[in-house]
Amino acid sequence: MARQKQTVAERLRVVVEPARNSATPLPSPDPRLAELVQLLARQAARDFVEAEDHDARDHPPD
């Protein structure tokens, strides 16, 4: 069996090109989905602020 040469690449160039066409056409966004995402984002923001307020009350600044 032949032995492979152990070589090291000194320079390597990688070129990335965006796809010109999508493999599948994207469907138009469902307005109900957009509303749901906004609702969930608002609720998550509300929960975050409430948790921060709760932590601030438990640990007053020095």
pLDDT digits (tens, 9 = 90+) for 11-59: 777 778 877 776 677 677 889 999 999 999 999 999 999 998 887 787 7
- What was the pLDDT predicted at 10? 74
- Alpha-carbon distances, residue 15 vs 10, 18, 51 (angstroms): 17, 10, 46
Q: What average pLDDT score do residues 1-19 get?
A: 72
Does this model's pTM top 0.85? My answer is no
Evaluated on CA atoms 30, 36, 39, 41, the torsion sign reads: negative
Q: What average pLDDT score do residues 2-19 get?
A: 73
- What was the pLDDT predicted at 62? 61
Which residue type is seen at 18? P
- What was the pLDDT predicted at 1? 58
The two structure tokens encoding residue 47 = 């929960």
